[in-house]
Structure 1
Amino acid sequence: MAVALEAGRRKRAAVVVLGDIGRSPRMQYHSLSLANQAGMEVDIVANGGSDPHLLLRENPSIHIHEMKSVQLTGILKISGALTLLLKAAIQFIILIWYLCFKIPRPDVFIVQNPPSVPTLAAVKLASWLRGAKFIVDWHNFGYTLLGLSHGRSHIIVKIYFWFEKHFGRMADGAFCVTKAMKHELDQKWGINATVLYDQSPEFFHPASLTEKHELFSRLGNSICSAMGNDDCISVEKEVEDRKNTTVFTSWVDGEIFLKPNRPALVVSSTSWTPDEDFSILLEAALMYDRRVAATLGEDDSMDEGKLWIDIKNGKQFVYPRLLFIITGKGPDRMKYEEQIKRLKLRRVAFRTMWLASEDYPLLLGSADLGVSLHTSSSGLDLPMKVVDMFGCGLPVCAASFSCIDELVKINNNGLLFSTSSELADELMMLFKGFPEECDDLKSLKVGALNTGSSSKWSTEWERYALPLVNQVIG
């Protein structure tokens, strides 16, 4: 471990996130690496909301300073533009208070972008006042996210673009998440950024049978509770011995087995925002359900309750039930939950959850397939959720966009789709013969395992990020 010392003092970094640190995994990983690999004291200045990973909370070198989120709902009803300006001004003052007065003087600030306003200006001012350096970690472009709701030609978006570019160029160093973004920053912004690909940390790995059984036992009530009317999974709630039997596993004579008639588990993590069209997944699930019924020659008058009991009691079909577990928080969650409740599905069920940071990797490591709906407002960033899925050996069906091929390799570790019909086709192909005779799914799983094991966050960070941090600090 590189120990950073200066005149008998450990060097110090401030990690700045104008957002929920519990929902900013990359900045959490930066913090862990700065503490464990660079040997620095780390102050995280961020909004609260969700608990960060236990490894951060228990690390004696990491200190979390939680800012309060700014809510101006009353003014929003009067003027949206006035609300944005007033909110940015208040956030600027709060950031300056924390960065200049609440935390010890850092040697370097590392700030997440977006959001750009007012974060970049506040960190630049704080770095000047405190004699520190300033590194921007470019996850995406803030002006493109704002353009989703206002349009790229809107005056507010143009002002945001100028602000982001002007203060972004003032940084002493930069990271970015793709080669495509590096090229954009270099050619059009005059910023030389180091590509630091998202990689999963070591606690993302395929789950053991014991870990799966314990996780499904803990989540049993949530899994067996239908979001609306009864469905093909909620029938399992009649199982009384939750300790020994879950929807997916059985514990018999001290040994844990995966049930042969278990549903296939499909996981998607979403921020429930406009750059992830969740309706594509709902439509694909409905198509899968209808196509399976047609393939098996079932008509609409079939007694679904009897079918579900038969499946629960061990009857198997060439196509399995699908359980979609959707994790995440965001503004459109309630809207889509209402749509899910209205769906009439025979072999598909949905559950929405927010998991503890320690349980999320276990869920990915226990699933059969991941789905990413992320399409990127800029077309230049990559979905970290897919990186985490690969770290757990989980193959992925991902929405196609310009640079996704830097991450998802078709027919190796995943598949791409552009429409709900294409996604439904992929679900039919991958899950035919599940769980034993689904060779296409098994092949993708091998590729995902190889991708996830080829590199981890700590390796990439030491190779690409640590040299830049040391160079900037000097």
Structure 2
Amino acid sequence: MHWGWIVFLILLYFLIPACLYLLVPESPTQEDLNRRQHAVVLVLGDLGRSPRMLYHALSLAKGDVRVTLCGYEGSKPLQEIQDHELITIQHIPVIENDNRLPFVLYAIQKVLKQHLILLKLLKKTNRPDFLVIQNPPSIPVLGVVRFFNLFISRRTRVVIDWHNFGYTILGLKLGSKHPLVFIAKYYERIFGRRAWIHLCVSVTMGRVLRTSFGLSGRRIIPLHDRPASAFKPLTEAERKLICKTHPLFNEFDASKDKCIISSTSYTPDENYQTLLDALKLYDQSSKKGLPNILCIVTGKGPLKDEFEQKVKECSFQRVMIKTAWLSMEEYPKIMACADLGISLHESSSGLDLPMKILDMFGCGVPVVAVDFLALFELVKTHKNGIIVTGAPEMATALTSLFSSQGKLDNLKRGAMRESRQGWDANWLEKVGPLFGVGEYRKAGSEEKELSSDDSDYE
């Protein structure tokens, strides 16, 4: 017999059972049917700084689903999450660049180690019913999850929550034409297509997933962020008490000064020079009667030292800038004390929506935000905020609002309307039925399509 035929028959021998393994549905055991549903919520990032994933975990746990919450140890999650009996937190070890390798070599080393760490972690979860993952980061999460879903736990339904695109963020660091960005782009498109359901933070992002990634429209669910219950307006008495007692408000006169707040992770997609330039223009304005401004910038990240150095170089008469890192319990209260929020998020893809704006709206605080493609879905100019394109427009907005209490009050009313739209009700309505949480949706055409089309994601 010709050697070619022998090789072909051997490959066929192994290929048939492999195909059967991948195509034949995995039957649930009696133990599977009797046990409480289990969901793994995975983010390859600091858990305390991943609010949307924390809210997913809490919503699932409130729906009587057992949750394993996986991510880096760092900032403390909400106390409610730490104390919940159905939520187990599993920390992922952080891989540091201890040998000071060049970025590309360190990235390769880091990704290889993360493959092993994530696979080991997922194997420990004992084949969960649902696996909810955040994207980005894409590498190596999407590939590892696909491998896990195919060869270890085919019963697990994978849900990708698209916050942005990983390759566009990498492009900010390396340049859009770098070979690694090209590889990351196709990695994300190939492995990102494979999931049971795709959640996304904006309708605009959903359209791109359908047109550029070739995803089925019925598997894409835009789920706008909403603030958690901790983000709520303060009474005037509560606000006065905080402004009187908290160290951040030293030298601040709540009766006549104005407070603006901006939260950040100090990354390249937020240009804080825009804020500094706008405050310089405001400070130099010849308009009479403008109040002094206390500008609070919360957060931490790689560019914080650079920003603080620039602040030291500024010389203001009407403006005072303070930086702070606040706990999850303290952060909403300080935010609710502000007269105006500032968002400098420019979006590497133009498709994500910054959670910080939702947090501000939750506290009833209107927003001045730097424009990008999808922002119109969230900020409505002259209704709940103002969209600007640069420092001069931002300075004009600050001058206009702080010289006319009527204009500021109008935006405040719009933000207060936004504060009534909470996360829980929105989550239960949009995605709760997919997890069997909340009131069961009757079997309509959408649900029938989802249940009959499960083989697509295999």
TM-score tier after normalising by the smaller chain length: 0.7 to 0.9
Larger displacement relative to structure 2 (10-19 or 362-371): 362-371
Return the offset for 1:60: 0.8
Give the corresponding residue for 2:54.
Answer: 28
User: 2: CA distance between counterparts of 1:219 and 1:332?
Assistant: 26
Return the offset for 1:9: 1.3
Give the corresponding residue for 2:338.
Answer: 367
Confirm or deny: 8 A CA contact 2:243 2:337 kept in the other structure.
no
Confirm or deny: 8 A CA contact 1:266 1:325 kept in the other structure.
yes
Matched, 1:86 2:80: no
> Which SS does the other structure have where 2:291 is aligned?
coil
Return the offset for 1:265: 0.8
User: 1: CA distance between counterparts of 2:104 and 2:274?
Assistant: 32
User: 2: CA distance between counterparts of 1:35 and 1:280?
Assistant: 41
Matched, 1:49 2:66: no
Letter aligned with residue 117 of structure 2: I
Deviations 1:173-196 (A, max 9, x none): 110011111010001102241101
Letter aligned with residue 135 of structure 2: N
Matched, 1:164 2:188: yes
Return the offset for 1:469: 3.3
User: 1: CA distance between counterparts of 2:164 and 2:312?
Assistant: 33
> Which SS does the other structure have where 2:134 is aligned?
strand
Give the corresponding residue for 1:428.
Answer: 399
Matched, 1:69 2:94: yes
Which of 323, 340, 361 pairs up with 1:390?
Answer: 361
Give the corresponding residue for 2:159.
Answer: 135
5+ residue gaps in structure 2? 1-30, 437-446
Which of 310, 323, 337 pairs up with 1:339?
Answer: 310
Give the corresponding residue for 1:352.
Answer: 323
Confirm or deny: 8 A CA contact 2:38 2:66 kept in the other structure.
yes
Return the offset for 1:444: 0.3
User: 1: CA distance between counterparts of 2:132 and 2:211?
Assistant: 23
Give the corresponding residue for 1:233.
Answer: none
Give the corresponding residue for 1:289.
Answer: 283
Return the offset for 1:162: 1.0
User: 2: CA distance between counterparts of 1:88 and 1:216?
Assistant: 46
Give the corresponding residue for 1:105.
Answer: 127
User: 1: CA distance between counterparts of 2:50 and 2:89?
Assistant: 13
Return the offset for 1:55: 1.2
Confirm or deny: 8 A CA contact 1:11 1:107 kept in the other structure.
yes
User: 1: CA distance between counterparts of 2:345 and 2:415?
Assistant: 18
Confirm or deny: 8 A CA contact 1:223 1:351 kept in the other structure.
no
Confirm or deny: 8 A CA contact 1:109 1:127 kept in the other structure.
no
User: 1: CA distance between counterparts of 2:142 and 2:298?
Assistant: 30
Return the offset for 1:351: 0.6
TM-score, normalised to structure 1's length? 0.82
User: What pairs with 1:175-324 in structure 2 (closer than 5 Å)?
Assistant: 175-192=199-216, 193-216=220-243, 219-220=246-247, 222-224=248-250, 236=251, 247-248=252-253, 259-261=254-256, 263-291=257-285, 294-296=286-288, 318-324=289-295
User: 2: CA distance between counterparts of 1:61 and 1:216?
Assistant: 37
Q: 1:203 to 1:6 in 2, by over 3 A?
A: farther
Matched, 1:448 2:443: no
User: 1: CA distance between counterparts of 2:311 and 2:121?
Assistant: 42
Q: 1:218 to 1:50 in 2, by over 3 A?
A: farther
Matched, 1:469 2:431: no
Paired residues, what number?
A: 405
User: 1: CA distance between counterparts of 2:235 and 2:418?
Assistant: 19
Letter aligned with residue 148 of structure 2: A
Identity %: 38
5+ residue gaps in structure 1? 225-235, 237-246, 249-258, 297-317
Return the offset for 1:223: 4.0
Give the corresponding residue for 1:153.
Answer: 177
User: 2: CA distance between counterparts of 1:119 and 1:218?
Assistant: 44
Letter aligned with residue 104 of structure 2: A
